[in-house]
Structure 1
C-alpha cells in the first residue's frame, strides 16, 4: 500500500474515476481564513499534494505571487492550469513531494498528510524541516479522528501529533478546528508549527 500511495498512477486513476472525496471544489474555510490574516504577500509558499489547487488559486488571486503548487499526478495540475492560466509555470511542480527541493517561509497542509500512510509521518516531518526556511511555518488541518476503514485518508489523534511534531517544531497551535467545512466539522484539528532553530 505504501508504494501505491507514492505512485502517480494510483492518484491519477482516482481522479479519472472521480474517487476524490477530499476535493471540496473550492478553497476550504480554515486555509482561506488563515490566508486572509496574512499581510505579507511576498512570502514564499508551498502547498503540497494540492490537487486542483483551490487554495493556490485563492492565494494567487489575493496577491500572493510566490506560491508553489505540487502534486504527484499530472491530471489535477493540468486542470489547475486551465482554471488559472496566468499562474507562473515555474511554480507548478509535477513531482513526488519527497523529491522536491526548495525553501519556503510557509507550507500549507490541506489533505496531504492524511493521504500518506502513517509509516511515512516521520519522513514527512523531516522533509518539511528541510523545505522550511529558518522560522518557517507549517500550517493547516489534520484529521483528529481514527477512521474505521483502511485509508487513505489516514487519521490520528492530537496526542500522537503532538509527540510527532514536537521533536522538530515549536507547536504554536494544535487544537480542534472551529471553522471546518460542514462535512468535516468536529473531525479536524487546526495546527500551526514553527521550525525550531
Structure 2
C-alpha cells in the first residue's frame, strides 16, 4: 500500500511539473494512456492524479476530455492581488527573520540569473526559484504553503512576462532592490519593493494579453 501511495504522488508531481515547465500548455488535452506511457507509470495513479488536478482547478472539462485550464482576465487579476499581498508579507517577514546566509544566497541568485537573460523561459524558472527562496526566508510554513498554491495556479499562464523586451533587466534590478531591503532589515522597504515588482509584472502581463488577436 505504501508503494502505491508513492507512485500516485509521483504521477501527480510529474504531471504538475510538466504543466509548470510548459510541456503542457493551457488548452492542451491530457490523455490518460499517453501520460502513463510518457511517465512510465500505470494508468491508475495517472487517473487519480488527473482527478486531483481537476479538483484543484488546474484541469477542466472539455466534453469528456480533460484539458489544462486557462485563466481569464478576471482570474488573472484576482491571482495577482493575492500574490501581491502574500509575497509582500513574505518579503516583510524575510527582512525580519532571514539569516545572513539566506540573504547571501538571494544575492548570488541574481548574479547567476543575469547569465540567463537571453533565454526568457530559463529565466522564468530561475525567477520562480528566487521568489521561493524569499518565501522560505520568511520562516513561516503556513505562508509558504499558501504561496505554493498561488504558484501552482501561475503555471496556467501560457507565457512569461520576462519575454517582453527589456523586462528581464528591469526585473533583475527589482530583485536587487528587494534583496537590499531584506539585507538591511528594512521591513517596509522589502514589502514595498516586492509589491512594486509584482505590480510591474502584472502590467507587462496585461500588455501581452492586449496584443493577442481578438476572435471575430
Q: TM-score range by the shorter chain?
A: under 0.3
TM-score by length of 1: 0.27
- The structure that is helix-richer by fraction is 2
User: Which protein has greater RCO, CA pairs closer than 8 Å, 6+ apart?
Assistant: 2
* Higher Cα Rg, which structure: 2
TM-score by length of 2: 0.25
